[in-house]
Structure 1
Amino acid sequence: MQSSYNDFSKVQSQTINNTMDMVIKSCDIMIENIKFKIGDHDEKNQNQLNPNIIRILDIGSSHGRNSIIPINLIISTVLKQFPNQCFEVYHEDLPENNFSLLFKEISDNKNSYIKLSNQIYFYGIGNSFYNQLVPSNTIDYVFSFSASHWSNYHVSFHYDPDSIGVYCKHRSKEYKQYCIDILYKNFSLRAKELKKGGIFMLTVMNENENENENENENETPTSSTTTTTTTTTSNENNVLYELFKLSKTVWKQMANENLISMNEVDKMIIPINFYRKDEILDSIKMVENDYGLKLISIKLHLQKFSDSHDSMILSDQEKSEILFSYMNAACETSLKNFINGDQTTKDSLYQLFISKFINQIKISPIKNIENLFSYYSIILEKD
């Protein structure tokens, strides 16, 4: 049985909490754009009815608990300006996502956004966000937290013989261009879906590159600056890389015990990209030129283990087990896709993997679990 993402997603929840100021800023921009379109320039008339439904698109909703946080903020902010506003909320995830858990969370959670008004309607979309999800020019606000790093399973230069993560010991020109292209595809599809004046708020995982500490991270750049084509990355020292590396080791042990074929293990990959800032900016510049989706703000964050846990009282083993539970909840379905056999076989082998992994970190836990990853929060607006 798949782990419940709702129960093991504190890191993702903290990512959202860390960007609430950006959500407020972007929501204010959206509201001003709506007021302008309905001709409301007068402060005394700012509570007039917006005749149009406000549509919100949630990219990578999973089982819904984390999505409720920003949607609550967006809807409550809009209701202060338009008390009788009608909303439609679209939750996107892959078809294999458990949408029953998603709908149950939205309906039963006492803090759910549907408690804010009786004019809120919600829907599920079982599709990849690398496809257009809704008709063009229909969405007012898109958000994507802890989702835009997911990529394609079937790109040969991704495979790392030592890890289930993306191979990126050296950032080749080919891989760099792939990162730009796949970001551009995501951004351009959202640009098509957005109304004029609509907002795309997202987070993008960063590879922990060394940036100038004096750089103003909130400054909106006027142009992108790509300066390198081959760069040695820091992912080998990254906690997530160590987690992915240990996972591959355990799967190889299972192959050596003839529990699974080495061919299946060799193909296993968690298709997560850690993007560089220049790749992000290049993609945004392209989509602004092609679709009018412009950069409003970009800010760098560091996700720490201690942001969501009391590190002082936890052992290395306990930290490793917690971190593994997060990875497992997010990646279980992806890894099972590489296991041959029926669902019972996949479930059985995966449970064995979990047991062996836990035993492994009891013997040799991951050390120095604190700085997990860095990421950019980004606001884009459609002109």
Structure 2
Amino acid sequence: MTSPRDKGSHLPFWEAGSGHYGDTLGKQSIGASSSSEPLILSFLDTIPVQQGQVFTIGDYGTNDGYCSMHVISSIISQLRKKHGESLPIQIVYEDQEKNDFNSLFHRLSDETSYMSKFSNVYPLATNVNFYKQCVPDGTCDIILSSIATHWLEKLDMQFKDTYMHYFASEEEQRRFNTEADRDWTKFLRLRARELKPGGLLIVLHDGMCDNFQASSFVRDATPTSSRDSTLQEKNKLVEYTISDLGSTVIDLMLDFDSAWKQLREEGVISQKEYDDCIIAFAVRTATQLTSPFMEDNSPVREAGLSLIHIDELVQPCVFKRLWLKKLLEEGVDDRDSFAQNMVTAHRVWTQSSFASSLSDMRSAEERAAILDKLYLTLMKRIAARDPRSYKSDYFVGRLVARKE
């Protein structure tokens, strides 16, 4: 059972130590960190390193470490080449108190982990959430956060007739943006305290276009839209630009919205349960990511943090690629597997929010059955789409800042 303070939050529901995140959603999320590895390594040599001091890497919002393991290994390798074996390297893994740290520890013990390749390396973990200070002032040389900072500290509002912010009314979005901006500024100020002078903060964030309007992406009720029908004979995926995609996994968000509404219309959930559902996360534009640095009398700049890089990219959906591979190699158009992969992955971060809106008067069995029906409804909707054009790609905003 979730508590009031957990409402809208992402909480793990799987068996601790099972590696479920890396086996599901991690397979899609890892693309953001993997494709950004060259960017991260290109800035690494700009960090001042003093012999005799510990070099500390922070991995914030790590989950089970699946998405960052290779990047951190590459950072250690580059440091070893330049500074030798004598440089002690410390990795601080951060996530919320209910995180599946057991899976992280299992990954660190695996023979493929960087721990089996390098010596004088010391991984640690903290369950202090990143809206608090996690380490003492001046501890970290580099702090990484990949697809995590969209989660808000809390959200003191609800939306009318939707579960997330960019389907909300203009007035609701204004109120939401005020809260989201507050949290983002708080995150940046805390990291500024934790970084050493010359240290770097690198954030990979779920993004959307500055001019994004969710209403322009609402599809027809028919499962196969006109854009799908033009691709029936083409054995390739649509390669979306940033402006075409609009926002991260936008078609999935639309299908989630429709599936939750369907349960209300069928009487599976009450109007109150529908209204009570909210996911406390913020998909941000590049302007929203950079605005704390641009403001007059910026508290972020006053804390010593300066923006040095911002860009955006589209990270293709791994599950669409798996679907296409099976189509080309086996001649099998397995849309059911595509839908199942998508739903299993994105159940990871959504289930706790939907569960927290269900009445406490319901039995555990009834609540579980409702959640299963929601994700089955979602799976059927996705299976009716053409994966070639399904907008399940990640829109990633990439920000680099330096502590002066």
**Deviation (angstroms), 1:251:** 3.6
8 Å Cα contact 1:153-1:269 kept in structure 2: no
> In 2, Cα distance between the equivalents of 1:308 and 1:378?
27
1:97 aligned partner: 99
Counterparts of 1:289-300 in structure 2, within 5 Å, are 289-300=301-312
The residue type paired with residue 5 of structure 1 is Y
1:151 positional shift: 1.7
Mapping of residues 215-364 of structure 1, within 5 Å = 232=213, 236=217, 240-255=249-264, 259-285=268-294, 286-305=298-317, 309-310=321-322, 312=324, 313=327, 317-341=336-360, 346-362=367-383
Matched ranges for 1:152-231 at <5 A: 152-156=153-157, 159=159, 161-164=161-164, 166-168=166-168, 170=170, 172-209=173-210
One-letter code of the match for 2:22? N
1:163/1:65 CA distance change after superposition, 3 Å: same
What letter matches 2:341 in structure 1? Answer: I
Report the CA distance between 1:246 and its aligned residue. 2.9
Corresponding residue for residue 51 of structure 1 = 52
Per-residue deviation, 1:311: 5.3
Question: What percentage of aligned pairs have identical amino acids?
Answer: 19
Correspondences of 1:22-101 after superposition (within 5 Å): 22-30=39-47, 33-34=48-49, 38=50, 50-80=51-81, 81-101=83-103
Paired residue secondary structure (1:132): coil
Q: SS of 1:190's equivalent? A: helix
CA contact (8 A) 2:97 2:127 kept: yes
Residue 235 to residue 23, structure 1, CA distance change in 2 (3 Å): farther
Which deviations, in whole Å up to 9, do the C-alpha atoms of 1:158-186 show, x marking residues without a partner?
Answer: x2514456544548544444443222111
User: Which residue identity lines up with residue 7 of structure 1 in the other structure?
Assistant: D
Q: Judging changes above 3 Å, is the alpha-carbon distance between structure 1 residues 324 and 359 closer, same or farther for their aligned structure 2 residues?
A: same
Q: Distance in 2 between matches of 1:245 and 1:260?
A: 19
CA offsets 1:130-169 (integer angstroms, 9 cap, x no match): 1111111111110000111112442325x25144565445
Mapped partners of 1:322, 1:206: distance in 2: 22
Q: CA deviation at 1:380?
A: 0.9
Query: Greater shift after overlay, 300-309 or 323-332?
Result: 300-309
- In the alignment, the residues of structure 2 paired with residue 235 and residue 179 of structure 1 have an alpha-carbon distance, to the nearest angstrom, of 23
Cα distance in 2 between the residues matched to 1:343 and 1:104: 30
Contact 1:56 1:142 in 2 (8 A): yes
Q: Which runs of 5+ in 1 are unaligned?
A: 39-49, 211-230
C-alpha separation between the residues in 2 aligned to 1:349 and 1:333? 13
Q: Deviations over 1:250-284 (max 9, x none)?
A: 34444556654432232212222121222222112
Contact 2:204 2:398 in 1 (8 A): yes
User: 2 CA distance for matches of 1:79 and 1:152?
Assistant: 37
Structure 1 residues 289 and 65: alpha-carbon distance in aligned structure 2, compared to 1, 3 A threshold: closer
CA offset digits 1:341-383 (Å, max 9, x no partner): 4766654543343334324444567882146242221111101
Higher relative contact order (CA 8 A, sep 6+): 2
**Coordinate RMSD, CA, aligned:** 3.0
The offset of 1:301, in angstroms, is 0.6
Of the structure 1 ranges 352-361 and 82-91, higher mean CA displacement relative to structure 2 is found in 352-361
TM-score, normalised via structure 2 length: 0.75
Q: Distance in 1 between matches of 2:53 and 2:216?
A: 46
SS of residue paired to 2:393: strand
Change (3 A) 1:132 1:308: farther
State the partner residue of 2:224: none
Distance 1:256 1:170, change over 3 A: closer
Q: How does 1:141-160 map to 2 (within 5 A)?
A: 141-156=142-157, 159=159
Given that 1:295 and 1:380 are in contact with CA atoms closer than 8 Å, whether structure 2 keeps it comes out as yes
Higher alpha-carbon deviation: 83-92 or 12-21: 83-92
State the distance in 1 between where 2:174 and 2:272 align. 28
Q: Is the 8 A contact 1:207 1:235 kept in 2?
A: no
Q: Distance in 2 between matches of 1:27 and 1:167?
A: 39
Task: Give the drift of 1:196.
Answer: 1.1
Q: TM-score, normalised by structure 1?
A: 0.79
Q: Which amino acid aligns with 1:146?
A: I
| Number of residue equivalences | 345
Tell me the equivalent position of 2:125: 124
CA contact (8 A) 1:298 1:377 kept: yes
